């Protein structure tokens, strides 16, 4: 007991009563965390019980949640015309102590993007997501935005991008989201995007290289490169190079490259084992849509690994991710055969959410 008293954890009237110097606060999505003003630190667990808590239910009538200039959540009582940093729902918190999963894997095929970010507060963070007007990109952008991040939807089709922004704002009218033009099939467009973004003098904490095409018929971009290779890999490669200084200035930051398990089913070396650059942007006679996609995904992984080696000493990490086998999205719409196959397989595929 003497040790407890020395640590400021001596007996109180209730086990939930906080020791001196501690304060209870909440995040935007209702998770409770505890601030120690003496040691200037925060933690998710109650300092006495070790339990995690979350608030239950909606705010009382007339109350609204706001965020101050420092990113701190506060509450406005419009009826009594007062503000407070104390969540009025704290009297109705519930314990949240989920049991550890029986396996080592924390998330599985049924886990949603919102569940991944549950309890996280991204207030003050800036995120760019390419190809964010639909599919995986949209769900990623929405999840970041609903957890407080300022999100830029980097898209080729601005009409669809603006529609995606509206859908996010419908879920939370105070979400910080905007759309910017980015056509990865044009290196000039990539350069313009980077210049406009830099002119905003913003940080960049997360760059999600998500945009991709699949099963395209052979075609060349304005830069005279095969389209699948440029959109899926080279455009993102160039984008990261142009924003590299911003990422380093924003450290800790990270780059996330959406790749695919299909990278395993191809190679970019010739018969002698040497790198064959002609395979990356093949001629029409040597083009096969599936192989082009697989090679672009292999390039994604090689790029991400090398990027991590070069930038991690500067506080910027890079990870290549596989979104899941048979992920149902709109990426297959370029050929009716793939559309048919994905439609038949949809009941057995993973949700984009």
Within the chain, which residue ranges are assigned CATH 2.20.70.10? 22-95
Within the chain, which residue ranges are assigned CATH 3.40.50.720? 114-262+279-348
The pair of structure tokens assigned to 124 is 């003050």
Percent of the chain scoring above 90 in pLDDT: 44
293 is catalytic: yes
What is the rounded average pLDDT for all residues in the chain?
Answer: 83
CATH architecture type of domain 22-95: Single Sheet (2.20)
160's CB contacts (< 8 A; 6+ apart) are 133, 134
- Residue 93's Cβ-count burial label (10 Å; 0-12, 13-18, 19+) is buried
Q: What was the pLDDT predicted at 124?
A: 94
> Domain 114-262+279-348, what fold?
Rossmann fold (3.40.50)
**pLDDT for residue 56 is more than 80:** no
Percent of the chain scoring above 70 in pLDDT: 80
Residue with tokens 């003003």: 37
Contact 338, 332 (CB under 8 A): yes
DSSP summary character for residue 50: -
281's CB contacts (< 8 A; 6+ apart) are 225, 226, 229, 230
Distance from C-alpha of 307 to C-alpha of 78, rounded to nearest angstrom: 50
Distance from C-alpha of 178 to C-alpha of 139, rounded to nearest angstrom: 15
Least confident of 152-156, 264-268, 296-300, 326-330: 326-330
52's CB contacts (< 8 A; 6+ apart) are 31, 32, 44, 45, 46, 95, 96, 97
The pair of structure tokens assigned to 341 is 């196959």
Of the candidates 6, 85, 287, 293, the residue annotated as catalytic is 293
pLDDT-derived band at 180, boundaries 50, 70, 90:
very high
Least confident of 71-75, 156-160, 297-301: 71-75
pLDDT tens-digit map of 195-227: 999 999 999 999 999 999 988 999 999 999 999
pLDDT tens-digit map of 301-352: 999 999 999 999 999 999 999 886 545 445 555 555 555 555 555 555 555 5
State the DSSP string of 120-131. ---TT-EEEEET
């Amino acid at each position: 007991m003497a040790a407890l008293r020395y640590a400021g954890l001596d007996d109180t009237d209730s086990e939930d009563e906080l020791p001196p110097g501690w304060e209870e606060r909440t995040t935007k999505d209702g998770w409770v965390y505890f601030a120690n003003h003496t040691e200037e630190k925060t933690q998710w667990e109650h300092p006495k019980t070790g339990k995690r808590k979350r608030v239950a239910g909606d705010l009382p009538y007339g109350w609204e949640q706001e965020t101050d200039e420092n990113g701190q959540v506060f509450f406005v009582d419009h009826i009594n015309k007062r503000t407070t940093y104390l969540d009025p729902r704290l009297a109705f918190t519930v314990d949240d102590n989920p049991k550890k999963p029986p396996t080592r894997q924390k998330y599985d095929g049924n886990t949603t993007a919102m569940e991944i970010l549950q309890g996280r507060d991204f207030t003050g963070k800036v995120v760019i997501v390419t190809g964010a007007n639909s599919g995986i990109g949209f769900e990623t952008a929405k999840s970041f935005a609903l957890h407080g991040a300022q999100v830029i939807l980097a898209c080729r089709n601005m009409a669809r991008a603006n529609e995606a922004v509206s859908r996010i704002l419908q879920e939370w009218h105070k979400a910080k989201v905007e759309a910017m033009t980015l056509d990865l099939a044009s290196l000039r467009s990539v350069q313009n995007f980077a210049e406009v973004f830099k002119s905003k003098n913003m940080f960049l904490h997360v760059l999600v290289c998500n945009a991709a095409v699949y099963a395209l018929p052979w075609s060349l971009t304005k830069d005279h490169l095969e389209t699948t290779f440029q959109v899926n890999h080279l455009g993102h490669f160039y984008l990261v190079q142009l924003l590299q200084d911003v990422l380093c200035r924003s450290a800790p930051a990270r780059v996330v490259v959406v790749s695919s398990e299909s990278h395993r089913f191809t190679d970019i070396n010739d018969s002698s084992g040497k790198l064959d650059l002609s395979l990356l942007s093949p001629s029409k006679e040597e083009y096969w849509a599936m192989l082009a996609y697989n090679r672009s995904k292999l390039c994604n992984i090689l790029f991400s690994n090398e990027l991590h080696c070069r930038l991690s000493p500067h506080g910027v990490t890079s990870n290549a991710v596989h979104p899941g086998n048979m992920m149902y999205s709109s990426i297959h719409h370029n050929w009716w055969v793939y559309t048919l196959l994905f439609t038949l397989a949809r009941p057995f595929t993973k949700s984009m959410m």
